[in-house]
């Protein structure tokens, strides 16, 4: 698997105010349907389907969705933005959380808190191997393969009460501390699997989510402390290019994962 290391490492500290991205430049995805992209759906856990205000129990709802085998009936009780977006990666350096509803053209009626985005599709790796996802968000990031949770990488202060626990100590750092290391999964290039990725923001303010991938037996470059620099999970060359901002060190793939919706 070919990849190019980049020297992009965010510094831990106070987050500066960042501008919102335009619709065509959204790091959450594109409004126009594109091939080889995950479909992303925004849910507002503060409103029901009739857009009546609800008192959200955000962490409990998110944990219930994950622990109930990613059953969309859990989220379908809440307001779902009708128009999806399409993403070829989930790599979002720190940004104003209001950029999420803006990416869905829903900023007029979805506030920048208590939302989740559910990305889904069918993917296969560029080469056969045993892989794991590595990542973290401020606040919520989770990944499932064929309906089974393989990663929950949330902000240390999120307190998300899911049953999933990491089996191995993480070896990659981020502006939020250590990234979470997921479970190993055997994958084949000619056998697509269902993938679900959930990101979300609880209080509003700043948001970030970084999803990387590691192949067992692969040799990766390391930082000055010996930590591996892993590639971003990508389905296509980044469009737009990865935004500059506070983010873990990462590499860019030259051999992309395959995807069909």
Contacts of 142 (CB under 8 A, 6+ apart): 62, 66, 149, 151, 152, 153, 154, 162, 164, 197, 198
Give residue 261's pLDDT band: very low, low, confident or very high (50, 70, 90).
Answer: low
DSSP label at residue 25: G
Task: For residue range 138-167, list pLDDT tens digits in order.
Answer: 999 999 999 999 999 998 888 889 999 999
Task: For residue range 49-83, list pLDDT tens digits in order.
Answer: 999 998 879 999 999 999 999 999 999 999 999 99
Predicted TM-score (pTM) of the model is 0.89
Domains plus CATH for the chain? 3-10+21-254 (2.60.120.380)
Least confident window among 15-19, 162-166, 201-205, 220-224: 15-19
Q: Which pLDDT value is given to residue 248?
A: 83
- Residue 163 CB neighbour total at 10 angstroms: 9
Q: How far apart are CA 39 and CA 257, in angstroms?
A: 15
């Amino acid at each position: 698997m070919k990849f190019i290391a980049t020297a992009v490492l965010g510094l831990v500290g106070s987050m500066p105010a960042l501008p919102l991205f335009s619709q065509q430049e959204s790091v959450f995805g594109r409004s126009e349907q594109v091939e080889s992209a995950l479909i992303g759906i925004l849910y507002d856990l503060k409103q029901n389907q009739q857009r009546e205000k609800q008192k959200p129990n955000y962490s409990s709802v998110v944990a219930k969705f994950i622990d109930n085998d990613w059953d969309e009936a859990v989220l379908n009780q809440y307001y779902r933005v009708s128009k999806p977006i399409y993403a070829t990666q989930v790599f979002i350096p720190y940004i104003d959380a209001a950029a999420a509803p803006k990416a869905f053209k829903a900023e007029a009626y979805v506030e920048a808190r208590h939302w989740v985005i559910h990305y889904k599709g069918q993917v296969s790796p560029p080469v056969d191997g045993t892989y794991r996802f590595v990542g973290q968000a401020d606040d919520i990031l989770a990944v499932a393969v064929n309906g089974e949770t393989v990663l929950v990488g949330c902000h240390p202060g999120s307190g998300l009460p899911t049953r999933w626990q990491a089996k191995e100590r993480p070896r990659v750092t981020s502006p939020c501390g250590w990234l979470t290391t997921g479970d190993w999964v055997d994958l084949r290039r000619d056998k697509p699997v269902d993938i679900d990725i959930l990101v979300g923001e609880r209080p509003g303010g700043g948001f970030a989510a970084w999803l990387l991938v590691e192949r067992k037996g692969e040799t990766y470059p390391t930082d000055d402390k010996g930590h591996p620099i892993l590639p971003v999970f990508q389905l296509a060359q980044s469009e737009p290019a990865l935004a500059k901002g506070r983010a873990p060190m990462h590499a860019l793939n030259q051999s992309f994962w395959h995807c069909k919706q």
